[in-house]
Chain A
Amino acid sequence: MSEVRKFKLTCIICPLGCNIEVIMEGDRIVRVTGCTCPRGEEYAVQEVMAPKRVVMSVVKVKGGMFPTVSVKTDKPVPKELIPEIMKELASVEVEAPVHIGQVIIENILGTGANIVATRPA
């Protein structure tokens, strides 16, 4: 018999903020309750198995209109990698012009996600 664990989560997919309960036996999910849509269920499973987030920040720019350009990961990345990604971003400096959507760092830390510009510079 493997150990039964309960996880209580608040869904962050939409502003409704459903309270979701996930029940696991060992490393297997046996039940997800409380969500009101399939996206919520997907989020809950993801959150328990391997939580992910979109990371956003700014990086330094040389010769632009502002000294920074805003960036984000183009898809969610593992939550535990956020501090390391932020360190990477702090050490980057790009040259203007930068266009919106431009890839600043490809495949950051092997996550498969790119860092892309969200503002021109």
Chain B
Amino acid sequence: MQNEYDVVVIGGGPAGLAAAIKSKELGLNVLLIENREFLGGIPIQCVHPGFGLHYFREDLTGTEFIHRILKKFLDMGIEYHTNAHVTEIIPHSYRHKILKVVTDKGILKLMAKAVIYATGARERHMFEIGITGHRVAGIYTAGEAQTMMDIYGIMPGKEIVIVGSGDVGLIMARRFTLEGAHVKAVIELMPYPGGLTRNIVQCLEDFGIPLYLSHAVTRVEGKKRVEKVIITKVDENLRPVPGTEEELECDTVVLAAGLVPYLKVIEKAGVIIDPATKGPVVNSYLETSVPGIFVAGNALVINDLVDYVVEQGEEAAMGAYEFVRNGGLPALRWRKLVKGRNVRLLVPHYVSDTKDVMIYARVKKPEENVKVRFPEIGKEIRLPFVKPSEMIRIKLRKTDIAKAGDKITMEVVPNE
């Protein structure tokens, strides 16, 4: 194993694999580092379909999707290291970063011209969502439960309460039911379900699983193992309403309460974080505020579709290629992307007219019959509906970007 690379990719999931493949195709000398014992990331434990409709134009399971990408990665003979953990990235000079990596063969010190950070997201835990009570066995995040069931073949419990009705929670409700567990309820804080309507139908209604909207799990009780949870109604400000407590007996609580970009190592390297995405502030090459550190996938922004994650991995690789080839990015003038009406988050944060740019956004609240408008460049797109759970993805042409001054605003407005 050598010590100097053009690009080191951190994370062997869909974003990292796609970034490494693209880097190699562009002729860069690339190493990929993965901390689990196998490559593939989260899709390797996603046995349900719904993957690849955009990227492969086929409906694949997560496992099938990632194996297509993994096969390409392995066939190209790209160097990689599993069971390896990057503990530190030190910007050594404008053009070089030092990485400290703990591996099963000892601690490595690597030099990279560019780093692509594709570590994915972590799951929100019980203390972040206000669940108090006993610290007993039987409390899992959705990802932990999925790893147990669909990789190791172990059932986490029999009587299940799921917290959160995003697609992850809904899909887990179906998985548990199919495997013979009894899902007593899915509990959702908001007055509307978080996931797609089709998942409400095929994951809950198909099996008669009750969904409690405007409810929170406020307490877990049990001696050694979970015995029951206390659920409480919440008011319009999402605060528990006293006197509305109900008990649900169960042996397992599964938390599907959302994801947060996992940034521990690059935060230490000094990248600036956007409070809306909770991911790094990036330019249109997906470069962070530290030159030569790029980011892609759920570490950048929480995506709905793995197809977008792969696209971002490839984009980051093209950015890294420009950086390595030119010793920096070729952009001349950055325009800030500004959030206008009903836009909650927007990525990337800065764009330039050196290339076309894919932008990813989420709205604050659901609306029907709207226009997405970029007033500074005179671009408008009509949409039948927008909702917070569905990412908006729009391509901005470099010729359009060139028309703008210092900023480009994106706003969602009613379509009159």
Contact = CB atoms under 8 A, between A and B. Distances in A.
Interface stretch (B195-203, B240-248, B307-315): B195-203
A120 B67 contact: yes
A29 B201 CA distance: 22
A50 to B, nearest CB: 14
Interface string A78-94: 01001000100010000
A104 to B, nearest CB: 13
A70 B152 contact: no
Contacts, number: 73
Interface residues on A, range: 20 to 34
B49 A68 contact: no
Given A68-B150, A120-B67, A10 B200 contact: yes
B229 interface: no
Given A12-B201, A56-B48, A72 B152 contact: no
Contact of A15 (B63, B196, B202): B196
A118 B149 CA distance: 15
A9 B200 CA distance: 12
A26 interface: no
B405 interface: no
A67 interface: yes
B126 interface: no
A79 B205 CA distance: 12
Interface in B179-207: 179-180, 196-198, 200-202, 206
B38 interface: yes
Interface in A91-119: 100, 118-119
A102 B132 CA distance: 47
A70 B47 contact: yes
B394 interface: no
Interface of B: 38, 44, 47-49, 61, 63-64, 67, 149-153, 178-180, 196-198, 200-202, 206, 384, 390
Interface of A: 9-17, 53-58, 60, 65-68, 70-72, 79, 82, 86, 90, 100, 118-120
28 contacts: A10-B197, A10-B198, A10-B200, A10-B201, A11-B198, A12-B201, A14-B198, A17-B196, A17-B198, A56-B47, A56-B49, A57-B179, A67-B153, A68-B150, A68-B151, A70-B61, A72-B47, A72-B61, A82-B178, A90-B180, A100-B67, A118-B47, A118-B61, A118-B63, A118-B64, A119-B47, A119-B63, A119-B64
